[in-house]
Amino acid sequence: MAESSDTHVFILLGPPGAGKGTQAKNLSQYFHLTHISTGDLLRKQIHQKTEFGKAVDVYMQSGQLVPDEMILHMLFERISAADCKKGYILDGFPRTLTQAEKLQAYFTQNKIEPFVFNLDLSDQEIIRRLQDRLICIKCHTPYHLFNSPPKKAGICDRCHAHLTYRSDDQPEVVSKRLQIYHEQTAPLIMYYKELKLLHTIDCNHTEKEIFHQMFLYLNRSFSS
């Protein structure tokens, strides 16, 4: 079933640790739209030990990108759900030019014009931030020791399970992820810039300041 042209879709680009998940949550709460994190979808599959999860775990543990065909299958299945009819926020997708082109073909077919944000941050700041990230072992809610700490140290606010450091935030894996980002994902910035869909946000600010910048841009776009 084709989605209507008034479907609002937000795409958040940026390196690991730039705050895509945090801002996706903010957008989701403000606009009442579904937040879709491909990373969370993949980790759920891994946690449930599905055959798909076992296959992608090998890639994630080594810091490599999961093959496009696997991600695309999972993503298109997710956005076809009823809770995505009015729109959704894509966090961590697309990550390659092939993914972006396939996604844009889907948008064109369904008469959707996405809002694409590039959350810009230096490698040095990314490495510093990732060293302090935590995630719930049960519900996968993300935390940060300084920017968004849990109310009780080491315990999830939502389900009260224990928090742990993400295995893909280990220094050697982070370095690999950044290398892959610059080689394969950064070209998406040029792709969306050429489509005149890209808006870059400087993420060397507080969470509230970053969201305010995004909101001002969207407000201008909606009123134009």
**What residues are labeled active site?**
20, 95, 133, 166, 177
Is 136 among the annotated ligand-binding positions?
yes
Tokens describing residue 202? 């400087």
Was 158 annotated as part of a binding site?
Answer: no
Is 14 known to sit in a ligand binding site?
Answer: no
Amino acid letter, residue 159:
C
Q: What element of type H or E holds 40? A: helix 38-47
| H-type alpha helices, 48-186 | 51-61, 68-79, 97-109, 123-130, 171-180
Distance CA 7, CA 101 (A): 19
Closest CA to 75 of 97, 51, 92, 61: 92
Q: Distance from CA of residue 216 to its chain's centroid?
A: 21
164 is in an annotated binding site: no
Known binding residue 156? Answer is yes
Residue 154 known to bind ligand: no
* Amino acid (one-letter) located at 187: P
The annotation status of 22 as a binding-site residue, yes or no, is: yes
CA dist 216 and 224 (Å) reads 12
**Is residue 166 annotated as involved in ligand binding?**
yes
202-216 b/e with 16+ CB inside 10 Å = b? ebeeebeebbebbee
173 is in an annotated binding site: no
Helices (H), 62-206: 68-79, 97-109, 123-130, 171-180, 187-194
Closest by CA to 101, choosing from 190, 10, 218, is 190
Query: Is residue 95 a known part of a binding site?
Result: yes
Residue 63 annotated as part of some ligand binding site: no
Binding site annotation covers 128? no
Q: Is 43 annotated as a binding residue?
A: yes
Q: Tell me the binding residues for Zn(2+).
A: 136, 139, 156, 159
Binding residues for ATP: 17-22, 133, 205
Binding residues for AMP: 38, 43, 64-66, 92-95, 99, 166, 177
Binding residues: 17-22, 38, 43, 64-66, 92-95, 99, 133, 136, 139, 156, 159, 166, 177, 205
